[in-house]
Amino acid sequence: MTTNETQAVIKVQNISKTFHVKSQDVQVLSNISLTVNKGDFLILFGHSGCGKSTLLHILLGLEPPSTGKLIFFGKSLYENMDEDERTEFRKTHIGMVYQQPNWIKSLSVLDNIVFALRLNGIKANEAVQKANSVLRTVGMEEWSDYVPTELSSGQQQKIALARAIVTNPDILIADEPTGNLDFESGQDLMNLLSKLNKEGKTIIMVTHDLEYLPFANRAIQMFNGKVIQEVEDPKTFVKTENKLLKRVTS
C-alpha cells in the first residue's frame, strides 16, 4: 500500500449520476473520480447546477450513484451497506453544515447542540458539557440561551458548525456554508474552518466564491457534471487576480 492509500478517507471512483425527470434521463454527474485524504481542506467549486450538491449527497450516503463506487474508510458505501447502516455511518463519521441551518425552533442554541449528541447516544450531563465546550470553540458561549433564529446569519452558521463538530466526526462536509453571509462573517467562518483543519479535521466544502480558495489546501473545479481541474496551489490562486487578492488579504 502506498502512503496515499493509507491516508485516503474517501475515494470517489468513476461516479456518474442520472436523474429520471419527466420520462427523460438527465445526467448530472459524469465519471467523477477523486480522493480525499486525511487532513485535507478540499474546496469543490463550479457554476450553479454543475452537480456539487449532488456529489456531496452521494458522499453523505444519501443518494446512490447510478454507476461507480464510493469507498469511505475502505468500505464501499452503496455496495456493502444498507440504508440503516449508511445512516449509522454518517452519524458516526460525518458532520454537516448547510447553507441554511435547520434548527429545532423551540430549543435554545445549547439544546439544539445537546440534541445532536443525544441522537448519538451521549448521556444528558455529558452532552451539556460537550455542547458548552464546542460553543466556546466557536466563540459563541454567551449566546447559549438564545433561540438560534434570534441570531444573525453569521452567528447561526458558527452554531451550525459547532453542532456539526460536537460529535467529533472524522470529516466535516459543508455545502455553501458562507452563501448567505456578508464578507466579514464569511471570513470569520472560514477562519474557524481553517483552525479546525489545522487541528486535524478533514474538511470538504462547496462554494461559488473563489475568494475562499486560499483557505483550502486543495481545490477542485467542476463544470457540467465533470471534474475539469484540480487547482495547483489554491493558497496562491488569487495572486494573479489583484482585485480578489486585495479583499482576501485586507
Ligand X SMILES: Nc1ncnc2c1ncn2[C@@H]1O[C@H](COP(=O)(O)OP(=O)(O)OP(=O)(O)O)[C@@H](O)[C@H]1O
Residues lying near ligand X in the complex (CB under 6 A) are found at 19, 21, 26, 28, 48-54
By the rule CB under 5 A, 53 interacts with Mg ion? yes
The DSSP-derived string for 121-146 is T--HHHHHHHHHHHHHHTT-GGGTTS
Vertex 171 angle, CA 138 and 250, to 5°: 50
In whole angstroms, the minimum distance from the beta carbon of 101 to ligand X comes to 16
**Residue placing its CB nearer to Mg ion in the complex, 148 or 177:** 177
**Residue placing its CB nearer to ligand X in the complex, 52 or 90:** 52
**Residue placing its CB nearer to ligand X in the complex, 70 or 116:** 70
Contacted entry of Mg ion, ligand X, none for residue 51, CB cut-off 5 to 8 Å set by kind = ligand X
**Residue placing its CB nearer to ligand X in the complex, 49 or 74:** 49
What are the backbone angles phi and psi of residue 161, rounded to the nearest 5°? -65, -45
C-alpha cell at 158: 458558527
C-alpha cell at 181: 453571509
Collapsing DSSP to helix, strand or coil, 1 comes out as coil
Report which DSSP code applies to 232. S
Q: Return d(Cα 229, Cα 225) in angstroms, integer.
A: 12
Contacted entry of ligand X, Mg ion, none for residue 104, CB cut-off 5 to 8 Å set by kind = none
| Contacting range for Mg ion; rule: CB under 5 A; set: 29-37, 50-58, 87-95, 159-167 | 50-58
Contacted entry of ligand X, Mg ion, none for residue 139, CB cut-off 5 to 8 Å set by kind = none
Q: Which residues bind Mg ion (CB under 5 A)?
A: 53
